[in-house]
Chains A and B, each alone.
Chain A
Amino acid sequence: MSSADRRRPWLLLAPALVTLVVLMILPIGIMTVFSFYQFETAGVEKEVFTTENWREFFTDGFYHMFLWKTARVAAITAILCALLGYPPAYFIAMTGYKHKWLLLLLLIVPFWISFTIRTFSWIHILGEQGVINVLLMKAGIISEPLRMLYTEGAVIMGMIHFLLPYMILNVYVSIEGIDRNLISAARTLGCTAGQAFYEVVLPLSLPGLMAGLLLCFVLAAGSYVTPEILGSTRDALFGNIIFDTIMGQLNWPLGSTLSLVLLVMLGVIAAIYSRYMGLSRVFKGLGA
């Protein structure tokens, strides 16, 4: 191989790699440095070494509470996505319905519809003038509108709505990949349909399910726009705290510290996952 041949892939990669190194990796380095700077006043920091920001994060219960709450909300969201997403994925993979492509296309369509619009559409469902309240009041079941919007439940609902297609696609891809002869074999050997599912399909689809859970958890834990639209101030997540610290208080050092906390927390979870499952599965799910 000539040296020109050896250089060629790097020439092709250079623009993309340089872009990501400058825009993603370098900033995370700068973030680390900033987290040790001293905050003076809004928008001003002193370039002296201090561990004050980290001490503030580790000692202030306020941040622990939000971190814990974010993990809890993201976990609930991911688990509900799995419970709601598995049956449709199984149906699409197993059905003999000839317009199966339509069901798959419909799973992709939400990705094309603006996230902001999909999120605010829930205001029309859950709000005081929303579908549910208007119908229940008309039916005379309730006399006062129920308070559903601007609650944690509404935030979780909005996040499920936007994450469900990721889950369904991940699970679908892994069920679709199962050799159908295995199911037939299990049935011939005396399994009932239910047993064949628990003994064959479910274990073999676990990698897709786990990839979906990881993706949903990470995306939910990183979000701050959904609580902004569907939650009250009490339903803020860690991302909202970061946004307020940076854009509101202009406290760059503390904002950097909190961003690193979120990055490390989600990074550790992804690392534990890839230790057991490998990340290639998640890439596959993203490309689907």
Chain B
Amino acid sequence: MNATNDNRGLGWRAVQLVTVLVYIFMFAPILVVIVLSFNDSQFGGFPMTGFSFRWYAKLMENEAVLSAFQTSIWVAVLTAVICSVLGVAAAIALVRYEFPGKELVNTILIAPALVPETVLGVGLLLLMRWAHQPRTLWLLVLGHIMLALPYVVLVVQARLIGVRRVYEEAAMSLGANRFQTFREVTLPLLMPAIVASLLLVFTISFDNITASMFWRPSGVETMPTQILSMLKVSISPEINALGTLMIVVTVGLPLLGGGLARYLARSGR
């Protein structure tokens, strides 16, 4: 550490300054949205003309927004549950077993994170067209599962590597069968990773817009596509209120979940 800590010359000062500026760059626009959501003015931008909750009240009467919100929640919850089950099983196979073709399997599982979403979006639509299937909400769920799967596999894999195999071996040698071992030992140890993966998938699905623009059934809006279509009409102050609410949901949930995971990890010990 000594070599770096007496490194407080001009260079280090510059690094410090850029760091502060970059953090401001990342958060200032978001803070502006939150501040403007309480603006009393008719228009979505500056100047502030007074403090008011009226755009939130108006939002609660907006049928389109409410139904988009419901759609997004349902899709995200289904996606989170199914995707986590698939991802946890795959991660266990990758960490706990040796088998031929592991490298290839790993690449396939991570691929959706690297293939452009536009291409995945077009591909899934073509599949539906080829199979003569209509676009339903299940298409959104399936698509979101594909998009989020790599992240679940990566997160659970990382956690599983940290869970030493001796615990499982101890349970087995004490007479537990494989299923009991999984339920009594592996699963509780994996709980923090599973909670983390559920929340991660939920946010990925709830946030997704690029691919969802292709997949949503005609006439159905998810939260992000609803915001986009509202933006096309005008920058109304309602959008700021909506944005603020979504920030509360998507930032609040993981923070809550992180606390929960820590609590579970502690009580599991």
Question: What is A's interface to B at a CB cutoff of 8 Å?
Answer: 6, 8-10, 12-13, 15-17, 19-28, 30-31, 34, 84-85, 87-88, 90-92, 94, 96, 103, 106, 109-118, 120-125, 127-131, 134, 161, 164-165, 168, 180, 183-184, 186-187, 193-194, 196-197, 218, 221-225, 228-229, 239, 242-243, 246-247, 252, 255-256, 259-260, 262-263, 266, 270, 279, 282-283, 286-287
Contacts and interface: CB of A to CB of B under 8 A. Distances in A.
Given A28-B119, A106-B27, A223-B118, 12 more contacts: A20-B146, A28-B123, A31-B126, A84-B22, A106-B23, A120-B239, A134-B45, A229-B228, A255-B122, A259-B123, A279-B107, A287-B154
A252 B227 contact: no
Contacts of B254: 112
B155 interface: yes
B170 interface: no
Given A20-B146, A225-B213, A180 B92 contact: no
Given A30-B123, A124-B36, A196 B112 contact: no
Q: Is the interface of A mostly helix, strand, loop or mixed?
A: helix
Given A20-B146, A259-B119, A262-B118, A118 B29 contact: yes
Interface string B33-69: 1001000000111110000000000000000000000
B210 interface: yes
A116 B222 CA distance: 12
10 nearest CB pairs, A to B = A222-B116, A129-B45, A27-B123, A121-B29, A287-B154, A9-B97, A12-B93, A87-B18, A16-B90, A9-B93
A113 B29 contact: no
B87 A16 contact: yes
Contact of B89 (A13, A88, A196, A259): A13
Given A16-B86, A161-B25, A252 B118 contact: no
B113 A243 contact: no
B114 A131 contact: no
